Amino acid sequence: MLPSVCVFVWLIQPAGLSMGGTIAWLCAAADPRVAVVAPVLGVQSFGWALEHNAFHGRVESTPLVYQAAADELQGCKGGKVDAEAVRAVWCKLMPGKPREWIAPCVKKSGRE
């Protein structure tokens, strides 16, 4: 967005496919100016992913973010990206408890 462009806040409508869908979904959760979101993605239970060591696809999509968290937590460069580092990133992006980081459709299906 350019600073000189007039934007009507009620018109912010992010959309995305795959990882872009996840980012659009997180944007809508984090920014109250977002009126509607159209993510196209397979919804994941983030809490379940941490509990079952099933977060590697997310890590591979943005490895530098997770690596920076691992380095900071472990106090060295090249630290192992583990569940603790992933949890730290997700806590920054989505404050709350991992069980709260779940879409209603996943809760209804009992797959949490």
Note the pLDDT tens digit of each residue in 57-108. Answer: 888 888 888 999 999 999 889 989 999 999 888 888 777 766 566 655 444 4
pTM of the predicted model, to two decimals?
0.61
| Nearest partner of 86 among 108, 44, 58, judged by Cα | 58
Domain coordinates in residue numbering, the chain: 13-43, 44-100
Give the pLDDT score at 37.
83
pLDDT: which is higher, 56 or 40: 56
Distance CA 85, CA 76 (A): 13
Distance CA 75, CA 97 (A): 25
Estimate the crossing angle of helix 83-93 against helix 63-74, to 10 degrees.
Answer: 110
